[in-house]
Structure 1
Amino acid sequence: MPRCLITGATGFVGSNLAKHVGQLGWDMRCLVRPSSDTSRLDNKAVTLVTASLETGEGLQAAVENVDYVFHVAGRTTALQPAEFDATNVAGAKHLAEACAQQTSPPTLVMVSSLAAGGPGTFEQPRREGDLDQPVSDYGRSKLSGEKAASKFAEDVPLSIIRPPIIFGPGDHAGLSLYKTISTMRIHLRPGFRKFPVSLVHVNDLCQAMTTIAQRGERVQASDNSGRAAGTYYVAAERALPYAELGRVAGAAAGWATLALPFPPAGFWIAGAIGELFGHARRRACLLNFDKIREALSVGWVCSDEKIRQQLGYQPAATLEERFSETVAWYRQQGWL
């Protein structure tokens, strides 16, 4: 029976990964803080371990005698870039270092982000061999985290997965979209542009992660191949314009949704309000200048041709089916 450790197991992606790994019958440890809310986890099926990604304290014991480590923990919003670095860069370094110090280092699968690679369009989707061009502090921190972990690639079998927008059961960010649509039956899109985006359902992402752990390509310490060995993009069966995303999401809930263009200046004003509110309460808001820089890019499309051809990855359902499943979960939980 494979043994694994999951960081970020109490969050949206991590808790879904823990459920998926449990269904596979793997022996599982979940890295938590003393203050973590573990209600999303089946505590009978997991072993909880306490350690710090920021300082590295306790990580060697946490990764001892495991076959796979899934590094899902990360910061998506911050008041200052240094906050991103403390979690997304230092955390990746400390975890990879702890793995490298094991007699038999485990395979490390690191969840990064399309933001680390940069924007992509229908015509030029982001691919693994492209020059990385992040446009946000968040994206730059995820790329730096990849590089920090890759310094241990000679000793640690390492793979990196870069998902786009992730949605599914437990997703609070997606819930905000539905609450807006449910209130006004409108979906705001950035300007009059198509603004194409890729998405991935959390269950498909979890399946991809365990497949990569078992059969995936590994990062090479010195990779000059131009194909970014060990790195994978993953996505749903199609990308779509942001306006269509709103219509598909609304239709899953039984709502007719009108996509309205919102001027870029309005996004900057909303970002400024988010920044002020975040600094006032000393906790970053989901809507801030960093996210506005991402929202006003040309688009966020990636090609998952590599993982499809190399590992046989296929989304298990269409976007329409996945949004219907997500809405049903929201309603079952009383979130919507």
Structure 2
Amino acid sequence: MPQLQTTALVTGATGFVGSAVARRLLAEGFTLRLLSRPNSDRRNLAGLEATVVEGDLTDPASLKKAVKGCDAVFHVAADYRLWAPNPDELYQANVDGSRALVAAAHAAGVQRIVYTSSVAVLGIPKDGRPGDEDTPVTVADMIGHYKRSKYLAEEAVRELAAKGAPVVIVNPSTPIGPRDVKPTPTGRVVRDAAAGKMPAFVDTGLNVAHVDDVAEGHWLAYTRGVIGQRYVLGGEDMSLKQILATIADITGRRAPTLQLPHAAVMPVARAAEFLARFTGRAPVATVEEIRMSKKRMYFSCAKARRELGYAPRPARAALEDAVAWFRDNGYL
């Protein structure tokens, strides 16, 4: 149990997972310092007893200033876009930014760093079994710039850990729950399904975890994780059809029954991306999403259960809390 004087920097606290991590740390008595870009949406910081420091993952000087005097760093921030007009921005934030932050924290004498990676960087067995921390994978297996940037970012962090940086890595699966203000790509699916705006779906699958369980996993990684190791923070494997049926049951709507082949949806995604280059608004569907959906992204969190004491709740609870939050905050 940390003392009240323990100071932690949390990056990404304005976002979905980061805000949940910040709340979990406050419950343990941490003194929090939250890194935020000057123009970030700070609704998720409302009511948090924390000091906001302005900085950016692409500004190494601001990162050195932010970590000074900290005992712990939770690096949750990432550029999570499955489509970007300039893909270089993803690599600058996710790869270069993570390398710079972890290096700065190590140089500043930070005692423990928890780095938030993603199951997106893990392999998926071809025989249908769930992937885990040891499933073989290479950068060539990464679909699209987001996954590739996160893979290279984790590689950079692991290299720093090998040189002495006190890093524990966590790989969240698909977090769902309250305070998804943006919302995330998966949050948009939950929101649209709850609003009755998803009449059809493709055959895919996800590992669904409550965002507060993912935050708990960060805390457990901090207190019990082994430096240099990584831990999947997952929940329950569900097909998209099952997810939509559960949301329909929660909301009292009819579940969609029209399943579309991936080939039929791909032209829509290409057209949406083409239009997005003119409108500047994110496309309603992306080529990366369709390509990724051809695989069922199922993962095992057995290692985190065994070594950290991680105990995720059923996926339905995450979906119920997400739907309730979207409803209560005017998203539906």
- Same-fold call, TM > 0.5? yes
Secondary structure of 1:198 counterpart: strand
1:71 paired to 2:75: yes
Moved over 4 A (4+): 182-187
Q: Name the counterpart of 1:226.
A: none
Q: Name the counterpart of 2:285.
A: 287
Paired residues for 1:66-215 under 5 Å: 66-77=70-81, 78-102=84-108, 104-119=109-124, 123-132=128-137, 133-153=141-161, 154-171=163-180, 172=183, 173-182=185-194, 184=196, 186=198, 188-190=200-202, 193=203, 195-215=204-224
* Offset at residue 286 of structure 1 (A): 5.8
| Contact 1:20-1:206 at 8 Å conserved across structures | yes
| Contact 1:32-1:51 at 8 Å conserved across structures | yes
Q: Point out the more displaced range, 140-149 or 176-185.
A: 176-185
For the aligned residues, what is the CA RMSD?
A: 2.1
Q: Name the counterpart of 1:310.
A: 307
Gaps of 5+ in 2: none
The amino acid that maps onto 2:299 is C
Instruction: Name the CA shift for 1:155/1:178 in 2 (closer, same or farther; >3 Å).
Output: closer
* Offset at residue 160 of structure 1 (A): 1.4
Q: TM-score w.r.t. structure 2 length?
A: 0.89
Q: Name the counterpart of 1:239.
A: 237
| Contact 2:190-2:319 at 8 Å conserved across structures | no
Q: Deviations over 1:215-269 (max 9, x none)?
A: 10111xxxxxxxxxx1111211x21222111111221222231232112123212
Partner of residue 301 from structure 1, selected from 275, 298, 302: 298
Instruction: Name the CA shift for 1:266/1:106 in 2 (closer, same or farther; >3 Å).
Output: farther
* Offset at residue 54 of structure 1 (A): 0.9
Instruction: Name the CA shift for 1:199/1:293 in 2 (closer, same or farther; >3 Å).
Output: same
* Offset at residue 164 of structure 1 (A): 1.7
| Contact 1:198-1:240 at 8 Å conserved across structures | yes
| Contact 1:163-1:233 at 8 Å conserved across structures | yes
1:325 paired to 2:326: no
| Contact 1:10-1:32 at 8 Å conserved across structures | yes
Secondary structure of 1:57 counterpart: helix
* Offset at residue 322 of structure 1 (A): 2.4
Gaps of 5+ in 1: 220-229
Q: Point out the more displaced range, 7-16 or 259-268.
A: 259-268
* Offset at residue 97 of structure 1 (A): 1.3
| Contact 1:233-1:303 at 8 Å conserved across structures | yes
Q: Point out the more displaced range, 300-309 or 133-142.
A: 133-142
* Offset at residue 52 of structure 1 (A): 2.3
In structure 1, distance between residues paired with 2:190 and 2:113: 35
Number of aligned residue pairs: 319
* Offset at residue 39 of structure 1 (A): 2.5
